[in-house]
Structure 1
Amino acid sequence: MTTDDRRTDGGAEASGEEFEEYADLGATTENAMEIAETSMDRVRGLVPDETLADRIRQKSVHATGDPEFQHLVRFTGETADEPVVAGARAVLEERPIVTDITMVKAGITGRGHDCRVEKAIGNGGELARRTGMTRTAASVLNLDRRGVYDDAIAAVGNAPTAALALADCIEDGTRPAVVVATPVGFVKAAESRRRLRAVAERHGVPAITNVGRRGGSGLAAGLTNELVHVASDVRDGEVDLP
């Protein structure tokens, strides 16, 4: 199904089923758009608005409701803009978006792109049972064996073990187009992001992560959606990629 297939024609009233499918994919009504724009205007008053990386910082503040979160975002690449550019290009090239769990997948917008969106969880049950590793880590490894992560947008929002598994895959030669990793928690979360940043830096994989214990599925989805929004602005001639 394409983006256009999900729209209603000529202002025709959408069916209940269509509205339910579409309701969680962002603001669509006049009132909702007004709220969204007002919210982002307030965020732009708190966060610089000069670079593509600033747009990610703004989205991190918008997703967490915390102005200080802008200082926790980290970018892997020669410049802070590099992973944003890589992500936008991947969207324009309709590369797949691969999330760690269902919650992140549910948060990915259905508008502005024709990328296939899939989740890792559910693809590694047998490996998890045999080895005792977490299901998310096993699922990442299984998808990687099928080549799913190469040239994809890899988004990890919940499971530190998924981030660690993805780091192992990159060390073994996998090359995502960009990584967005914000796993949350008190056990291995900060460490997993630190390792992923180091591995991504060493192997030239653009990445967007954060420091500290905070993060989560909503943040990962929001940052990934901002890559889609940048791509949409490129398509509309409002942004030029270097």
Structure 2
Amino acid sequence: MYINSPKEIESKSMDIIEEEMDKTSFTDEEKIVVKRIIHTTGDPSYKEIIKFKEDFVGEFKKAILSGEKIYTDTNMTKAGVNKKALNKNNIEIVSYVSDPDIFEKAKKNGTTRSYAAIEKAVEEGVKVFSVGNAPTALFKLLEEVDKGFKPICIIGVPVGFVGAKESKELLYSYNNIPLITTLSTKGGSNVAASIINACLYMVTERD
């Protein structure tokens, strides 16, 4: 007989994942995020590569409760975030990568759309960033930080073999920025969405 209740499946999955969390140094709230990532990916090895800095969970929760807009570099992440939880906190999640003006700007300047979209997000006053796909987006965001921009927090988990690992290592070298990253080639839009959802669920009652 197999389990056919979504809530029961998730609960049982989390119990199994909890057994994988022995001897980790995560705080209780960080552990909730790590478990959500492992639940999403089916990959317990994430517990070895996930890194937090500057009370990321606490600062992200404050941003959620303040209704801060969230920028994400992919529509896939945007689609994967719980809409009811966003609405309960009056949060807008945006991704400018497919906007016509971004397409034209990237073409004109010879950059990626992800790079150009970060410029737009900074110009529009976005302070919470999620990068799950494009290393160029993370590199550009850190260039903005070097110029004095101060994000509230950064989810930096781009996936791939060209620049992804390097962009995350660079992110992790920064101090005074609440962040979460995965120090490897692993990551992705689904991981980014799971991080956002984990923090949303900490402050929002789920239906």
TM-score w.r.t. length of structure 2: 0.87
Give the counterpart of 1:71 among 7, 30, 48: 48
In structure 2, the gaps of 5 or more residues are none
Residues 145-198 of structure 1: CA deviation (Å, up to 9, x unaligned): 222x23xx2111111111111111222222222111110000000011112222
In structure 1, the gaps of 5 or more residues are 1-29, 234-242
Matched, 1:155 2:130: yes
Task: Output the CA distance in 1 between the equivalents of 2:90 and 2:168.
Answer: 28
The DSSP-based 3-state class of the residue aligned with 2:129 is: strand
Amino acid of the residue matched to residue 175 of structure 1?
A: K
Displacement of 1:50 in angstroms is 5.4
Residue in structure 2 matched with residue 181 of structure 1 by the alignment: 156
What is the correspondence of 1:27-46 to structure 2 with a 5 Å cutoff? 31-46=5-20
Residue in structure 2 matched with residue 143 of structure 1 by the alignment: 121
Task: Output the CA distance in 2 between the equivalents of 1:143 and 1:154.
Answer: 9
Displacement of 1:126 in angstroms is 2.3
TM-score w.r.t. length of structure 1: 0.75
Residue in structure 2 matched with residue 115 of structure 1 by the alignment: 91
Displacement of 1:231 in angstroms is 2.0
Task: Output the CA distance in 1 between the equivalents of 2:121 and 2:103.
Answer: 12
The DSSP-based 3-state class of the residue aligned with 1:169 is: helix
Residues 31-56 of structure 1: CA deviation (Å, up to 9, x unaligned): 21111111112111212585211112
Identical residues among aligned pairs (%) = 29
Matched, 1:208 2:183: no
Runs of 4+ in 1 over 3 A off after TM superposition: none
Task: Output the CA distance in 2 between the equivalents of 1:141 and 1:72.
Answer: 29
Amino acid of the residue matched to residue 119 of structure 1?
A: S
Task: Output the CA distance in 1 between the equivalents of 2:171 and 2:41.
Answer: 22
Residues 69-121 of structure 1: CA deviation (Å, up to 9, x unaligned): 111001122xxxx1000011111111111100111111111133321111131
Displacement of 1:129 in angstroms is 0.9
**Larger relative CO (CA 8 A, sep 6+): 1 or 2?**
2
Choose 85-94 or 36-45, whichever is displaced more: 36-45
Task: Output the CA distance in 2 between the equivalents of 1:120 and 1:39.
Answer: 34
Matched, 1:221 2:193: yes
Residue in structure 2 matched with residue 192 of structure 1 by the alignment: 167
Residues 111-152 of structure 1: CA deviation (Å, up to 9, x unaligned): 3332111113134222211221111111111221222x23xx
Matched, 1:101 2:78: no
Give the counterpart of 2:34 among 28, 53, 57: 57
Residue in structure 2 matched with residue 134 of structure 1 by the alignment: 112
The DSSP-based 3-state class of the residue aligned with 1:187 is: coil
8 A contact 2:61–2:203 mirrored in 1? yes
Residue in structure 2 matched with residue 15 of structure 1 by the alignment: none
